[in-house]
């Protein structure tokens, strides 16, 4: 059994976090990568668990050194996937990057063929996701529209992914993910 690097993406509201949580819980040989960020820790967040919290200087130095498989700026802060940390984790376990479509495609481009397996979680249909997002009620109509445009963009990128898993039934989707993990671990 070899250790495999997976990126799991999916539009907001699709239940990706829950699926990844269940996957990790059921498989001690799987672990989640920890990203670096320059934003301040929120209440309860732990360094090295939720994120590696870096200063801007530290982040930029590591970026210059080529230590990010990808990085991006969100809300004025930097976020990146640390190459050396992921590689260290891969010595012991298979690793999941829970990462958006843009980030996942960037990581794939920075690696050789076959070094990462991309999995996208999709809703059974866009309409049901629209209803779920609207049901959150915490967002303005403008913000909801923006989110939907992003969802459509992300779903459109599914063609570039290795696997697409429909989250119509939670247990079935977890099973499907476990099959994918097993299949990829067996590949030479
Ligand atoms: P938050 O600050 O709320 O934890 O995350 C803000 C945004 O940063 C989210 O959209 C999250 O997906 C994104 N993010 C977290 N880690 C990474 C990373 O390693 N790389 C990139 N590109 N984005 C990240």
H or E element that contains 32: strand 30-32
pLDDT tens, position by position, 137-183: 667 888 888 888 888 899 999 999 999 999 999 999 999 999 999 99
> What's the confidence (pLDDT) of residue 136?
66
For ligand 1, say whether the CB of 100 is within 6 Å of any of its atoms: yes
What letter does residue 19 receive in the DSSP assignment?
A: H
pLDDT tens, position by position, 63-72: 999 999 999 9
Residue among 47, 50, 74 whose CB has most ligand 1 atoms within 8 A, to mutate: 74
Our count of domains for the chain comes to: 1
How many angstroms is it from 38 CA to the middle of ligand 1?
A: 11
CA distance 177 to 26: 11
Q: What are the tokens at 142? A: 């403008």
Question: Which structural domain range is residue 106 located in?
Answer: 5-186
CA distance 14 to 150: 13
Q: 125: domain CATH number?
A: 3.40.50.300
Q: Phi and psi for 134 in degrees, rounded to 5?
A: -65, -35
């Amino acid at each position: 059994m070899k250790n495999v690097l997976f990126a799991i993406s999916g539009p907001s509201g699709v239940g990706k976090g829950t699926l990844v949580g269940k996957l990790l819980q059921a498989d001690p040989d799987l672990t989640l990568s920890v990203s670096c960020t320059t934003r301040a820790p929120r209440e309860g967040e732990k360094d090295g668990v939720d994120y590696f919290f870096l200063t801007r200087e530290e982040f930029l130095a590591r970026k210059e050194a080529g230590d990010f498989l990808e990085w991006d700026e969100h809300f004025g802060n930097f976020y990146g996937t640390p190459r050396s940390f992921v590689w260290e984790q891969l010595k012991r376990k298979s690793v999941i990057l829970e990462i958006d479509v843009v980030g996942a495609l960037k990581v794939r481009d920075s690696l050789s063929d076959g070094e990462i397996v991309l999995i996208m979680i999709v809703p059974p249909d866009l309409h049901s996701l629209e209803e779920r997002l609207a049901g959150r009620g915490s967002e303005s109509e403008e913000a909801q529209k923006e989110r939907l445009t992003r969802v459509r963009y992300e779903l459109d990128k599914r063609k570039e992914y290795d696997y697409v898993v429909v989250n119509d039934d939670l247990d079935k989707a977890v099973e499907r993910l476990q099959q994918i993990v097993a299949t990829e671990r067996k590949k030479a």
